[in-house]
Amino acid sequence: MLKARVKYIKMIFLLLSILIISESALAQQPKRSYNIVFTSVSKVEYNKDYFEYYWVGLESYNDTTKTLNWEFVLLKDYPKSTWIKVESYESMDSQFKKGVYVMDMDLCDYFDSDTLVVEDMKSLSNKGMECPIPTGFHEMKNYLVNTDRYPSELPGENWMFSLTLYEKHDTKSQSDNIPKEDIIVNYKVFVLIERDF
């Protein structure tokens, strides 16, 4: 009986130690001095051979917050060589100028390696984000940017991110301009880096 009691007390002590260490580690993480707020989404351009429809938009989460949402019906499998390209544009002197962030990679590799958005989007999506992407109805609801995954500081204020899924015909890098016939879907998301919240 005494041995069981000592074992029980040791187990409680171990659990309390783990909790204290975990809370201490969380407290040491730098607080973000910004929020990333969705402000608008452009009209979606999509290839009707692949989709019955494709909608991306913002919906009110509460009085002050809008979330990113999408719905689409995929009619057939994406090509094996489907790539995703994300380009950043910063608003400067009343126009958007190309930023330094450009990501251009195989879509399935992106799903496997991304640490900023994919994990959160997977949990909000009815079919997850795995390859191969199944045909049928897909939706994602109420995505908010988790700034804990981002650097402690971000530059600029108003940004536009252009997202394009396209069929890449070879592994060599191609020009900035993707031929229209290779585009599967394209849209732009506008965000504000909000610092006084």
Range with the largest mean pLDDT of 3-7, 129-133, 140-144: 140-144
Considering the domain architecture, whether residues 74 and 14 belong to the same structural domain is answered as no
Considering the domain architecture, whether residues 43 and 86 belong to the same structural domain is answered as yes
CATH number at residue 50: 2.70.220
- The structure's pTM equals 0.80
Considering the domain architecture, whether residues 12 and 44 belong to the same structural domain is answered as no
**DSSP type of residue 81:** T
Which band of pLDDT confidence, cut at 50, 70 and 90, is reported for residue 67? very high
Q: Higher pLDDT residue, 101 or 6? A: 101
Q: How far apart are CA 51 and CA 71, in angstroms?
A: 11
Q: What is the pLDDT of residues 148-170, one digit of tens each?
A: 989 888 899 999 999 999 999 87
Full residue range of the structural domain in which residue 90 is found: 31-194
Q: What is the Cα 75 distance to its own chain's centre?
A: 23
Placement of tokens 């494709």 in the chain = 54
Q: What is the pLDDT of residues 5-60, one digit of tens each?
A: 444 444 444 343 443 333 443 344 456 789 999 999 999 999 999 999 999 999 99
- Other C-beta atoms closer than 10 Å to the C-beta of 187 total 20
Q: How far apart are CA 148 and CA 85, in angstroms?
A: 23
What Rg value do the Cα atoms of the chain yield, rounded?
A: 22
Strands (DSSP E) contained in 45-169 are 45-46, 51-60, 66-74, 82-92, 95-106, 136-143, 158-167
The two three-digit tokens of residue 44, written as one number:
């979606």
Considering the domain architecture, whether residues 23 and 75 belong to the same structural domain is answered as no
- What would the mean pLDDT of 183-189 be, rounded to a whole number? 97
